[in-house]
Structure 1
Amino acid sequence: MSPDKIDIAIVDDHTLFRQGLMSLLTESGRVNIVFDASNGADMIQKIGKHPLPSVILMDITMPVMDGYESTKWVKQNHPDVNVLALSMFEEDKPIIEMLKNGAGGYMLKQSKVADLVNAIAGINEHGFYINELVSGKLLRNIQNKQAEKNDYSDLNANELRFLELCCSDLTYKQIADQMCLSPHTIDNYREALFQKFETKSRTALVISALKNGLIKI
């Protein structure tokens, strides 16, 4: 085994996908797969019996113990191990949940193998991986556990309610209906909060609000 190879583990309940991914990643010559597991509980049983991986590729939807719970366990018990979420979902909510529980990056399963290998290398080196799904500023905020909370005491009740509803899968129009406000007013809230939180995406806005204790999921 080359010392330059990155030790990884793959946690995914789909056996054929897991085995195929193992084969493709091994062929890349840049990773060494120390173990694979079908869910979080299986991962916990195996992680103590093998060399500790530097990166774990983590599926989200799994039986027994899903990716959210598994990622949280990894970061609590092995904080130096980086978790790269690998999922079919590209909606805001699963991305937010995985990052909230400690994942350092998020890739789609339909990604090219070369892109996935680069993501593994990136998260191994920096502790996070930046792509179009997750902004760099967002991940730096999530990873920086020592960052001081900003003062957002001037947010009004409607703005806080808007932030809470942004955690859901409601569209902005549905949020407007829920709050009995016009879509134009909701657009104004969104743009004002984007500016205040120095971000340009709904995902980053929610993570910043979570980080500063303004809302809970």
Structure 2
Amino acid sequence: MASVAGIVEDNKKIRDLIQRYLDMQDDLSCPVAVDSVEEMLEYLEEHPGPDVILMDIQLPGMSGIKGIGIIKEKYPDIEIIMLTVYHDSHKIFKALRAGASGYLLKHTSLPEIKESILKLLDGGAPMSPQIARKVITHFQEETPKKDPDSNLTPREHDIVNGLVDGLSYKMIADRYDISIDTVRAHIRNIYKKLHVNSKAEVIAKSLKGEI
């Protein structure tokens, strides 16, 4: 069954180009492409939500970063990838903290955008190489602070290690001989304990030594 994507992008040329490309794929469809968070929220009230939304940051009306928080709160199962021209650390980490699961720059090619969507839906956290370098540098510069409230179980630590290793949910399930539903249940508990909304934040906390 094809995965479903949505787009929030105020540049009509870019929006239409990505929507047409995704709709041509056998394993993806893109029924909704709008130019504001407000329009996407109206769409979500009337239609089933897409599996993943590509979201710009600078938008008319509400910003993309504010929009992530609202969408993730109302529709926690929708994954969000930022697709933006901004590559300063402040905006990157604001987006990841708000609940984005990936961060791509707008010069990313259409095949790479498709690959990133599929990678995300398979449990990955796609980022443009330039963004990934900034994230790693940020982690290296920060002093590790253990969170005494995290209290992850040994199995939850196993799941976190799988995420850090870049494994999909299926690969984590295979590694530890458990079902994918069990992996998802553990991940929901990990999110609650760590007070995060995305795989990217779990990986960030692990790399920073906070877990």
Q: Which residue matches 2:132?
A: 134
| Cα distance between partner residues in 2 of 1:81 and 1:26 | 19
Q: Where in structure 2 are the equivalents of 1:67-82 lying within 5 Å?
A: 67-82=64-79
Matched length: 153
TM-score of the superposed pair, with normalisation by structure 1? 0.61
Relative to the length of structure 2, the TM-score reads 0.63
Could you say which residue in structure 1 is the equivalent of 2:57?
60
Say which structure is richer in helix.
2
Q: Residue 81 of structure 2 contacts residue 101 of structure 2 at CA under 8 Å; is this kept in 1?
A: yes
Counterpart of 2:170?
A: none
Code of the residue aligned with 1:103 in structure 2: it is A
The answer to whether the aligner puts 1:116 opposite 2:162 as a matched pair is: no
Matches of 1:37 and 1:116, distance apart in 2: 18
Aligned counterpart, 2:93 = 96
Could you tell me how far apart the structure 1 residues matched to 2:194 and 2:28 are? 36
Provide the rounded CA distance (Å) in 2 between the counterparts of 1:44 and 1:71.
11
CA distance in structure 2 between the aligned counterparts of 1:80 and 1:128, rounded to whole angstroms:
15
Structural mapping, 1:1-217, within 5 Å: 3=1, 5-126=2-123, 128-132=125-129, 133-134=131-132, 144-147=190-193
Using the TM superposition, give the Cα deviation of residue 51 of structure 1 relative to its aligned residue in structure 2, in angstroms.
2.1
* Paired AA for residue 86 in structure 1: L
C-alpha separation in 2, matches of 1:48 and 1:125: 26
Three-state SS of the structure 1 residue aligned to 2:94 is helix
Shift of 1:148: 5.4
Q: Alpha carbon RMSD of aligned pairs, Å?
A: 3.2
Q: Is the 1:34–1:51 contact (alpha carbons within 8 Å) kept by the matching residues of 2? A: no
Percent sequence identity over matched residues? 22
Give SS of 1:73's match: helix
Cα distance between partner residues in 2 of 1:98 and 1:148: 17
Long gaps (5+) in structure 2: 140-159, 165-187, 196-202
Query: CA contact under 8 A between 2:105 and 2:128: conserved in structure 1?
Result: no
Contact 2:104–2:127 under 8 Å retained in 1 = no
The letter of the residue matching 2:17 is G
Q: Distance in 2 between matches of 1:119 and 1:27?
A: 16
Which residue number in structure 1 is paired with residue 157 of structure 2? none
Q: Which amino acid aligns with 2:50?
A: P
**Radius of gyration: which is bigger?**
1
Q: Mind listing any 5+ residue stretches in structure 1 that lack a counterpart?
A: 150-198, 213-217
Query: Cα 1:87–1:130, aligned 2, differ >3 Å: closer, same or farther?
Result: closer
Distance in 1 separating the partners of 2:75 and 2:124: 13
Q: Which amino acid aligns with 2:120?
A: I
**Alignment partner of 1:145: what SS?**
helix
Secondary structure (helix, strand or coil) at the match of 1:134 reads helix
